[in-house]
Structure 1
Amino acid sequence: MDIFKILSRSTKQPNKASAGKAGSSVKLPSAGTSNNPQLFHDEATAARGKKRKRGGEKTAGNLQNGENEAEEEAPNFFAPKSTAVNTRRRESSVDEKEHNSNAPQVASQLPPTLLDEGECRQILRSHRVKVTVLPPGEKKIKKSKKAKTSKTTSSAKEEYKQLYPQPLTTFDDLRSTYGISGRMAENLAQQGYKIPTEVQMGSLPLLLQPETALGDAAMELGLSESRRNINLLSVAPTGSGKTLAFLIPVVNGIIQRRRQHQDKSEHSLDAIIVAPTKELASQIVNEAKKLSMGTGVKVVGMKKGMNIVDGGDSAENAESSNDSEEEEAEEGLEKSKKRSSQPIAKADILVTTPGLLLSAVSGASKGGRSPLPTVRTLVLDEADVLLDPLFRDQMLGIWDSCSNPELCVTLWSATMGSNIETLAASTIRSRRTQLGLKDDTRIIRLVVGLKDSAIPNITHRLTYAATEPGKLLALRQLLHPSAKTTDATQSLRPPFLVFTQTIPRAVALHSELLYDIPIEAGGSSRIAVLHSDLSDSIRDHIMTRFRNGEIWILITTDILSRGVDFRGINGVVNYDVPNSGAAYIHRVGRTGRAGRDGGVAVTFYTKEDIPYVKNIANIIAASEKQAGKPPSEASMQKWLLDALPTPTKEEKKNLKKYGVEARREGLGRDGKDRGKKAMLISSKSGYERRLEHNRKGAIQGSRNRMQQSQVEADPGEESEWAGIDD
């Protein structure tokens, strides 16, 4: 009898017959690439009051559902020649147009084919993309009386004007309709980008050519004079392609401006991309280099000791909670002497963490911060963290240094609270006022799906483990599936991530599971731990091994919970309950990337975690409802949601700052030692585990010697590792 199945009755158990069939044909995120990276494929209803003309244009909404164009509408061979030629031109790719000598001349004379407002609305709604214009001023709604509340709420909603811009149907339209660089279009084709995701569908036309995407609405927003004067706030699920959505407009804008300069070898800082962690910044650098290959655009990832402004000082002693190390004062004085002799790094795109860039800008001028007048684009990836109190002062300092009046700011994240939206809007308006500019800018917000929700294409499991030893036992059951386990969701197949609350707990869990993988499967080399106390070289080495498949189980903290793309992750284990609902959304978003199905997210909770579980349970319920699961098959039943206690605002605030009280390390909030150690992750002493490991190694070595002694040894067929038999 599995005690964890009894304690987790919210999960509906399938019968044996259906479980056996499902287990044999299970799909895993690591099995291969997804044919359609889009998350939502709602059926698009026909446009009201309009009849489809025979031989006319295809219904764009049907094309967005991931179906083949040939299956949607057969070519009309009896149509006039002009219609047939135009249809073939629209269906031909960019490469065919470039190789055909007559096609470029004809295509240059023809205007781009655009959809009317009804078709745009139909496509955007079928993919759950909502584009609105934020109100020009801040409006506070008082909730003193019920009658006044309804009136003020309705009046406030009227200010959020909804827009229906031109959606991006295929990546080929980037070249034909929005005129991106031909070399960059080739790079996109070589990397296999064909169908845009929801966030790319809505954001790329707005950032590349807002006057084309918005049509008449662009005149109302004052976007006719400047094509780049648009500030976008995008909220899209994890793994939906936000990185590519903000890199394409940045690289294309630099290419277009470089064509006007005679000296092609000159590089000036044009765009800054800020990320909260070093791992995410390194990933963005790699993607930007792939995209800008052969275009002449130089992408640089900022490092310690790098100069980007005049003055000689560089980024040093960056204060970051996730990827910074405390250095002694003497080492800082010695390195400051070397900085003055280093040249200024030349780059078109600079990818950095907030602490590094702020130290470089502040150190270059003793009296204050050095301005960055050439920066035209500022991108905030994971903007809710960058504008959180943890990084807020650093980020606002960088924002103030960008003194270009044509600065375009874009903010991207999977979770974005209303307070972050208000702060971003007020900062943009106050900055224009300080520069003496007219405060006529409008901020466009793009939301994909349900705001602040987990992705719908993964399986969520909430498991009650009672105590800390119970969690360790439950994790070992995932590593050691029994022969009776036939349901694929009851076990995790490598590779997967394990998240803990603190660094000491991650190190302790790593040492506890170090000998759980057998020697014939790779042994202790298949499991590793990654946290911010490790050096940069060690962290890079672990990330490289994990991406190459050499590491199967990676134990980490929230340093890898945001933005890092692991497309082959089969699951995520929350060994400790996340500090907030946003942390849970980003943690489980490491699996199910780019529309891949089959990912599993397991969360263990104990008696101490019960007051904080309801927020996670609500997120799971919303995700399953968004995926279209009927209430009878949902894992989060209504009786469980009603039974869980609702945490207060003070409890949520303390949880976000300090984590669960029982698992905190060091001193308490009053500065005094709590007098008790945090809950240890251990079931045996290190000496006992070492003896058991040596005994297993001796037995296995004896078996190997017996097999080698045989003349005709049969190594057996290699099979997929399905766990460890006790």
Structure 2
Amino acid sequence: MDPLKLLSRATKPSKSRLPAGLSNSPSQGAQASKDVNPRKRKRGEGVTDGSNDNVFGLEFFHHNAAGASQPFRNASRQSKVSQDGSEGLAAKPETALSAELPNSTTLDGEAKAVLNRHKVKITWLNPGVLSQKDSRNCSAKRKPAKPALYPHPLHSIGDLQPRFDISRKLASNLDEQGYVAPTEVQLATLPLLLDRTDSFLPRSLDATESGPYGLDMLTVAPTGSGKTLAFLVPLVHKARHQRRTKVVGDNGQAKAIILAPTKELVSQIVNEGRKLTQGTGVRVVQLRKGMRLIARNDSDRGTVAAAADAPSSGVRTIVRADILVSTPGLLHAMLRDDEISSADLVNVSSLILDEADVLLDPLFREQTLSTWDNLNNPELRVSLWSATMGSNIEELTRSTLERRLKRLREQHGLQVEEAPLIRVVVGLKDSAVSNVQHRLVYAATEQGKLMALRQLLHPTSTSKDIGPSLLPPFLVFTQTIERAIALHSELLYDIPAEAGGISRIAVLHADLSDTARDSVMTRFRKGEIWVLITTDLLSRGVDFRGVNGVVNYDIPTSSAAYVHRVGRTGRAGRVGGVAVTLYSREDMPYMKHVANVVAIAQKQQVRADGGVDNQQWLLDTLPKLSKQEKEKFKKGGIESRTARGKDADPKSARRARISSKSGYVRRAENNRRSAIIGNRQRAPLTVDGGDEIDFVGFD
């Protein structure tokens, strides 16, 4: 094996630095794969003034003869600005209602053209909130129409400060991190979340009725498309605005809560949030055991110093957070055990559900909804974000919003109005990224899958059936923790010592301690680990920007799981990634959902020869599962690969074992192991007097 190849972590280089036009985007498949992602510049490169320059040819707005953007202004909605320009809200260009502008038809037409070009669809799911009369006039059998919305897109990240009056420090932090051009999800959702006037609606709501930031949102966008930045920027801006206006009753309490399914994703969100909030006074905190959010009295305040002096004394640490990030289980447990009360969360006005389809899955649903119900702020706004979101999640969201609204009105006597519910879909809904190569490899047996994985590690040919070789670093996904550990043991010595040996391969799963998990994540991000074997623990949201490939050693249990697994590569439109799914005879009955997603992704990806490899023969051959079988497979996977499968069908469990050893060798090892155990359990030797002695050898 060539160590230089193993050290190669870069993806396929681009021939051109800048895109040719608006068509290059992660949601547009093959065109996106032709260029390196231009969204984010490197530190130290030339800074462009996004307020006036036409960055990367994004023709979002009208331009006069001088080339400057023509502002879309409405004098009645311009906010006052102080003389020094540091306080108040700046006049916001490009946010006026279409009905209030003489050239509104042209402006709406441009916005519609841009959104359609980027495959962004924005739908208003509850338009009846503006007029109860209109809702009553609707027939019970006829549902009200869900109109499409076309807000004016964001021109560049540099436009956030003059257009929406985000703080100069926040704008500086964005520039410091190298953000230049918005991604599709950012150009669509940032104007929605930052527009204080709801001017994108056909008939504007009064800000006093729906709150200063008055909408709920469902966002479905591809993996690696920048969703974290899209919801963090409005949260930081809103928290800073609330600090500046000194909200009554604010005692350092959290103003926003972000829920994510795993500790790794929580840590990543906190890290990104702290980069954005440097120097803004906004605090982003990861919730940990033993924390108290506020000091309720003087004696509590005195414990802060005690906790700092004696961190192991069991004294609870008091923290003040503007944005609190947590897993649903931890926050739910602290609410249940009265470690956090509803009073601690009284000022929470924003709830973000990252990877919402998982958080509202039966595994986390009770914990997530419990937290949601404990937030009694009438101005609470909720947004859900994920790369996959079924219709059941949309229905659950609407019913939860309606139930909470009814409870606040009846139990608390609050006059709460329903907020607009907006759905944003970027690209094809629930589809895998098309800028990576998707391959399905039939391996027949477990031994065949192990051999195929080793052939990907040590390629001996460029067979089209096997597909392109994998360059480190890459991820390998298994169905269970036990299988991840077994596969790690098998591959432990496959990397030669001169290339780093066993230090280059690691396993990560939920049974490891937090310290061990953090260590593995850090080493993988630094490039010290080249092959990381894991479960679905890392399939959600975690951003590894240099991952060159993903191997599904065990097939995912749903199409959504496949989308999220392979989404760890091809981040933000990067090309050169490979997604390989190995399947055996045992997997054949459950492969239909994976093959469908792969076929859709391959249809979007135009190959160099001009053809499309959609493997239609495989789709026609694979059997279909019933709804009950799908649910059973989604919950438990293939039974022979689980612990309970060993008792139910020992023969199938033996065939499903990850091992390159023959049955004869394994039996010999088991016999030897049994002999050693039996020898240790034998009665000790005795002398004539009956005293026990220890045998110390013939010498």
Which TM-score tier does this pair reach, normalised by the shorter chain? Answer: 0.7 to 0.9
Aligned pair partner of 2:214 in 220, 229, 233: 229
Match of 2:510 in 1: 532
d(CA) in 2 for partners of 1:338, 1:432: 43
d(CA) in 2 for partners of 1:439, 1:197: 32
The one-character-per-residue Cα deviations of 1:333-378 (angstroms, maximum 9, x if unpaired) are xxxx966x42432111111001111111121179x96662111111
- 1:247 maps onto 2:232 in alignment: yes
Match of 1:682 in 2: 659
Aligned pair partner of 2:109 in 87, 112, 118: 118
**Displacement after TM superposition at 1:29 (Å):** 3.0
Match of 1:637 in 2: 615
Instruction: For residue 438 of structure 2, give the secondary structure of its aligned residue in structure 1.
Output: strand
**Displacement after TM superposition at 1:439 (Å):** 4.9
CA change 1:645–1:630 in 2 (3 A) is: farther
Identity of aligned residues (%): 51
d(CA) in 1 for partners of 2:208, 2:280: 28
Aligned pair partner of 1:381 in 354, 357, 364: 354
Q: Contact 2:120–2:188 at 8 Å: present in 1 too? A: yes
Map of 1:434-513 to 2, 5 A cutoff? 434-436=407-409, 437-482=415-460, 489-513=467-491
**Displacement after TM superposition at 1:634 (Å):** 2.6
Q: Contact 1:371–1:402 at 8 Å: present in 2 too? A: no
Aligned pair partner of 1:127 in 103, 118, 130: 118
**Displacement after TM superposition at 1:442 (Å):** 2.5
- 1:358 maps onto 2:324 in alignment: no
d(CA) in 1 for partners of 2:613, 2:30: 26
- 1:345 maps onto 2:334 in alignment: no
Match of 1:163 in 2: 149
Output the TM-score relative to the length of structure 1: 0.73
- 1:261 maps onto 2:250 in alignment: no
**Displacement after TM superposition at 1:38 (Å):** 3.1
Q: Contact 1:230–1:444 at 8 Å: present in 2 too? A: yes
Aligned pair partner of 2:11 in 26, 29, 35: 29
- 1:39 maps onto 2:26 in alignment: yes
Instruction: For residue 211 of structure 1, give the secondary structure of its aligned residue in structure 2.
Output: coil
d(CA) in 2 for partners of 1:306, 1:108: 38
CA change 1:31–1:362 in 2 (3 A) is: farther
Map of 1:609-624 to 2, 5 A cutoff? 609-624=587-602
**Displacement after TM superposition at 1:39 (Å):** 1.2
CA change 1:686–1:197 in 2 (3 A) is: farther
**Displacement after TM superposition at 1:674 (Å):** 4.2
Q: Contact 1:34–1:594 at 8 Å: present in 2 too? A: no
Instruction: For residue 580 of structure 2, give the secondary structure of its aligned residue in structure 1.
Output: strand
d(CA) in 1 for partners of 2:599, 2:286: 40
**Displacement after TM superposition at 1:308 (Å):** 2.7
Q: Aligned letter for 1:619?
A: V
The one-character-per-residue Cα deviations of 1:217-265 (angstroms, maximum 9, x if unpaired) are 433x9887533121011000100000000000000001112122399x9
Q: Contact 1:184–1:292 at 8 Å: present in 2 too? A: yes
Q: Contact 2:62–2:69 at 8 Å: present in 1 too? A: no
Q: Contact 1:631–1:637 at 8 Å: present in 2 too? A: no
CA change 1:688–1:356 in 2 (3 A) is: same
Match of 2:677 in 1: none
**Displacement after TM superposition at 1:31 (Å):** 5.9
Aligned pair partner of 1:395 in 351, 368, 378: 368
Map of 1:539-558 to 2, 5 A cutoff? 539-558=517-536
Q: Aligned letter for 2:537?
A: I
**Displacement after TM superposition at 1:649 (Å):** 1.1
The one-character-per-residue Cα deviations of 1:562-594 (angstroms, maximum 9, x if unpaired) are 000001000000000101111000000000001
Q: Contact 1:27–1:597 at 8 Å: present in 2 too? A: no
Q: Contact 1:386–1:392 at 8 Å: present in 2 too? A: yes
d(CA) in 1 for partners of 2:665, 2:637: 31
**Displacement after TM superposition at 1:307 (Å):** 2.1
Match of 2:274 in 1: 289
d(CA) in 2 for partners of 1:585, 1:110: 38
d(CA) in 2 for partners of 1:272, 1:209: 21
The one-character-per-residue Cα deviations of 1:630-687 (angstroms, maximum 9, x if unpaired) are 997333232221111111112211111110122122368xxx6544545211113899
d(CA) in 1 for partners of 2:436, 2:462: 23
**Displacement after TM superposition at 1:299 (Å):** 1.0
Q: Contact 1:414–1:452 at 8 Å: present in 2 too? A: yes
CA change 1:391–1:497 in 2 (3 A) is: same
**Displacement after TM superposition at 1:135 (Å):** 3.7
CA change 1:241–1:75 in 2 (3 A) is: closer
> Paired residues, what number?
587
Instruction: For residue 25 of structure 2, give the secondary structure of its aligned residue in structure 1.
Output: coil
**Displacement after TM superposition at 1:490 (Å):** 1.9
CA change 1:510–1:371 in 2 (3 A) is: same
CA change 1:72–1:281 in 2 (3 A) is: closer
d(CA) in 2 for partners of 1:464, 1:501: 17
**Displacement after TM superposition at 1:438 (Å):** 4.2
- 1:194 maps onto 2:180 in alignment: yes
**Displacement after TM superposition at 1:304 (Å):** 1.8
d(CA) in 1 for partners of 2:71, 2:128: 46
Instruction: For residue 292 of structure 2, give the secondary structure of its aligned residue in structure 1.
Output: coil
Q: Aligned letter for 1:352?
A: S
Q: Aligned letter for 1:681?
A: I
**Displacement after TM superposition at 1:623 (Å):** 1.5
d(CA) in 2 for partners of 1:686, 1:593: 42
Instruction: For residue 583 of structure 2, give the secondary structure of its aligned residue in structure 1.
Output: strand
CA change 1:680–1:34 in 2 (3 A) is: farther
d(CA) in 1 for partners of 2:61, 2:342: 59
d(CA) in 2 for partners of 1:73, 1:381: 31
CA change 1:109–1:300 in 2 (3 A) is: closer
Q: Contact 1:506–1:555 at 8 Å: present in 2 too? A: yes
What value does the CA root-mean-square deviation take over the aligned residues?
A: 4.1
Aligned pair partner of 2:285 in 294, 300, 318: 300
Q: Contact 1:527–1:552 at 8 Å: present in 2 too? A: yes
The one-character-per-residue Cα deviations of 1:382-419 (angstroms, maximum 9, x if unpaired) are 00000000000000110011110000101000000111
d(CA) in 2 for partners of 1:104, 1:254: 17
Q: Contact 1:218–1:224 at 8 Å: present in 2 too? A: no
**Displacement after TM superposition at 1:629 (Å):** 5.6
Instruction: For residue 350 of structure 1, give the secondary structure of its aligned residue in structure 2.
Output: strand
Q: Aligned letter for 1:201?
A: L
d(CA) in 2 for partners of 1:38, 1:557: 30
Instruction: For residue 425 of structure 2, give the secondary structure of its aligned residue in structure 1.
Output: strand
Match of 2:377 in 1: 404
d(CA) in 2 for partners of 1:447, 1:530: 32
Match of 1:572 in 2: 550
Greater alpha carbon shift after TM alignment, 519-528 vs 641-650: 641-650
Q: Contact 2:9–2:547 at 8 Å: present in 1 too? A: no
Q: Contact 1:364–1:370 at 8 Å: present in 2 too? A: no
Q: Contact 2:92–2:165 at 8 Å: present in 1 too? A: no
Q: Which runs of 5+ in 1 are unaligned?
A: 1-22, 45-59, 91-100, 139-151, 315-336, 690-726
**Displacement after TM superposition at 1:277 (Å):** 0.2
**Displacement after TM superposition at 1:688 (Å):** 9.2
Q: Contact 2:154–2:191 at 8 Å: present in 1 too? A: yes
d(CA) in 1 for partners of 2:329, 2:377: 21
Greater alpha carbon shift after TM alignment, 439-448 vs 210-219: 210-219
CA change 1:132–1:499 in 2 (3 A) is: same
d(CA) in 1 for partners of 2:289, 2:210: 40
